[in-house]
């Protein structure tokens, strides 16, 4: 595996079909599942590790975000990555950028409502990765459901010749969605964190029993979280997958998403629903 720090270095190491897996590092099984998916489809698998200042708001965890590039390199190599791109902030932003990709109404709800500028920062850095690396296919987790929709529209609206692939959420055995931020949790908080996936599982059970009301489905997640000490819900929303707008009834493809603080750590999780003749769903797993 090549470790490179410049866009030019990546372009010099690529051949055939190029698969890209953008990450902020401190890799876990969720990231590695994307790298394995890329390995299955691409001749050259490029993974990037970059903690992007543009997507962090004031008072967020940019400075304390966990970093360990040596460990990441070891894990990425085992997962089949050919090129690990670990640019400095100076390589990514040689001059103070004035251009931004805006995300319109896709940023109105869910995390977009609570993290102003976040998705502009994400879309901008991914646009730079698409332009600088020129991948054929890029892999993202459904863990970050709003981000995935934003990036699908980034590729479509700005004509990047990149196929964007979404992959299932990878969970710890107790259901908690894997996240680099889980290291912030104390033992007690880690136990409380289970409420998010438990609540989503309750909502999925309700859908399986025929429930379609957003209010009831949101209520299932909310009840579970409210019954768990130490969980402070920021939002729970059922939104359509196309435009990320709240819906009252589950009659179209949708995402049931939650963000909650457990102690000072902000966690997100979701379940996806696909509505055809029957409703199918995905909560992910280990």
- Pairing type for strands 254-262 and 137-141 reads unpaired
Q: Which H or E element spans position 4?
A: strand 2-4
Collapse the DSSP code of 272 into the 3-class scheme (helix H, G, I; strand E, B; otherwise coil) and give the result.
Answer: strand
Task: Give the separation between CA 72 and CA 51, rounded to whole angstroms.
Answer: 13
> Whose structure tokens read 């696909």?
274
Annotation says 31 is catalytic? yes
In this complex, which beta carbon is closest to ligand AMP, that of residue 164 or of residue 218?
A: 164
Which residues make Cβ contacts (< 8 Å) with residue 146, sequence separation at least 6? Answer: 106, 107, 109, 110, 111, 112, 119, 244, 255, 257
The least distance separating ligand AMP from the CB of residue 172, rounded to whole angstroms, comes to 9
Choice among 28, 31, 105, 109 that is catalytic: 31
Give the footprint of ligand AMP on this chain (CB under 6 A). 23-24, 30-31, 33-34, 140-141, 143-144, 167, 169-170, 177-180
The least distance separating ligand AMP from the CB of residue 256, rounded to whole angstroms, comes to 16
Looking at residue 43, the DSSP 8-state letter turns out to be S
Q: Shortest Cβ contact with ligand AMP: which residue? A: 141
Tokens representing residue 27 in the block: 């890799």
In this complex, which beta carbon is closest to ligand AMP, that of residue 22 or of residue 219?
A: 22
In this complex, which beta carbon is closest to ligand AMP, that of residue 167 or of residue 207?
A: 167
In this complex, which beta carbon is closest to ligand AMP, that of residue 33 or of residue 265?
A: 33
Longest dimension (CA), the chain: 55
The least distance separating ligand AMP from the CB of residue 49, rounded to whole angstroms, comes to 8
Tokens representing residue 273 in the block: 């629903």
The least distance separating ligand AMP from the CB of residue 219, rounded to whole angstroms, comes to 25
| Residue numbers annotated as active site | 31
């Amino acid at each position: 595996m090549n470790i490179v720090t410049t866009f030019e270095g990546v372009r010099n190491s690529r051949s055939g079909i190029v698969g890209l897996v953008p990450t902020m590092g401190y890799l876990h099984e969720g990231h590695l599942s994307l790298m394995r998916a890329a390995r299955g489809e691409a001749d050259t698998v490029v993974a990037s590790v970059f903690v992007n200042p543009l997507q962090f708001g004031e008072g967020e965890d940019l400075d304390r975000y966990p970093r360990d590039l040596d460990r990441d390199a070891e894990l990425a190599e085992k997962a089949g990555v050919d090129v690990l791109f670990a640019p400095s902030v100076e390589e990514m932003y040689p001059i103070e950028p004035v251009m931004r990709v805006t995300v319109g109404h896709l940023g109105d709800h869910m995390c977009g409502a609570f993290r102003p500028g976040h998705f502009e920062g994400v879309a901008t850095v991914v646009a730079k990765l698409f332009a600088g690396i020129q991948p054929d296919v890029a892999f993202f987790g459904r863990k970050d459901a709003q981000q995935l929709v934003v990036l699908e529209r980034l590729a479509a609206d700005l004509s990047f010749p990149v196929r964007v692939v979404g992959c299932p959420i990878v969970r710890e055995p107790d259901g908690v969605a894997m996240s680099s931020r889980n290291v912030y949790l104390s033992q007690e908080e880690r136990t409380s964190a289970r409420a998010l996936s438990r609540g989503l599982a309750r909502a999925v059970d309700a859908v399986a029993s025929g429930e379609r009301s957003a209010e009831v489905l949101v209520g299932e997640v909310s009840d579970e979280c409210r019954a768990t000490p130490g969980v402070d819900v920021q939002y729970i929303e059922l939104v359509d997958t196309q435009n990320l707008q709240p819906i009252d009834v589950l009659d179209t493809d949708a995402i049931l998403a939650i963000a909650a603080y457990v102690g000072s750590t902000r966690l997100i999780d979701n379940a996806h629903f696909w509505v055809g003749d029957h409703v199918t769903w995905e909560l992910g797993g280990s």
